[in-house]
Amino acid sequence: RQKKIIKKEIGEKQFNNIIELSEPIAAASIAQVHIAKIKNENQENQVALKILRPDIEKLFNEELDALMLFAYITENTISKTKRLKLVEVVHLLREITNIEMDLRFEAAAANELYENTKQDQGFNVPQIYWNYTTKKILTLDKVDGISIREHNKLREQGVDLKKLAENLIQHFLKQAVRDGFFHGDMHQGNLFVDHKGNIIPVDFGIMGRLDKNNRKFLAEILYGFIKRDYVKVAEVHFQAGLVPQNASKEEFAQALRSVGEPIFGQSIKDISGGNLLAQLFEITEKFNMATQPSLLLLQKTMVVVEGVARKLYPETNIWEVSRPVL
């Protein structure tokens, strides 16, 4: 069945250039991955072939319709949830999943991330084979590396886990703050490490974008926290229009201090990302701040990246590692 889909998608000529095709080596919710060997411009290349599951679009749209109805009812019956912009968040989810259903978009995202990061030491995005890529098939370089979750294997290869944890955070921040384009799904299953310690990401279905203003505000807010300058952080929130203009800047700065100071007063490994976010959400409620859908994905990814880094090296000081980039 898979061969039929491939042949139909890329045409007989390219199909005949596929010398070997493995059974699926990985299966995700919307696609599965095969390893293949292809003849490309007179040489043989080892590639990964990602193939969409049949009927996946129909299934997804049915579930999103149900979610949209739920969001609409909740927003219209519980007035307190208005600021969460649930309907808008489901719209964002629909946009993201529609993009995920067309692998040409994912190929373009991988390509853009490759161009943005090709000068960055230690972060290698696999290259795309466009003549073997269609709406339902994505072909890219096979990753030669170890999953980032296999700590013992990485140690055996001589990879410095402390350095790896720091690199992961710094590369993510560079993408977010410098390029405004970041991998939005950087969990352990999507990250590999080669024998030189280079990070190789896979699965570019969910990417985040930040416009120039948001990048600037993000860098200033985070750097303000690092410098413990809460008045500055508060000012940035007001400039960005994140807080209603009639709120008190002084009170907002004080609320930010209540989030920031406990971080610096305790041992780095005891900082709970969960507690920190819970406090921030309490503040946003108190000051009637609206949800920023573009920053939601960033917040989520940041929490995940921190988690992966801490698993590699529990003593990672997130703030010290972030400082040079910011």
Distance CA 23, CA 3 (A): 11
3-class secondary structure, 136: coil
Tokens at residue 299, please?
A: 């917040």
Nearest to 110 by CA among 9, 201, 211: 201
**DSSP one-letter string for 101-149:** T-HHHHHHHHHHHHHHHTTSTTB-PPPB-GGG--SSEEEEEPP-SEETT
Q: At 54, is the secondary structure helix, strand, or coil? A: coil
Cβ atoms of 199 and 183 closer than 8 Å: no
CB 204 within 8 A of CB 183: yes
3-state class of 78 per DSSP?
coil
Q: Is 270 a catalytic residue?
A: no
Residue whose pair of structure tokens reads 């969990």 in the numeric block: 187
Q: Do 199 and 120 meet the contact criterion of CB atoms below 8 Å apart?
A: no
- CA 273/CA 83 separation, integer angstroms: 23
Q: Of 185, 203, 211, 229, which is the active-site residue?
A: 185
Cα–Cα distance measured from residue 230 to residue 250, given in angstroms and rounded to the nearest whole number:
9
Please give the Cα distance from 303 to 319 (Å, whole number).
13
DSSP tag of 326 = -
Question: DSSP 3-state assignment of 37?
Answer: strand
| Residues taking part in catalysis | 185
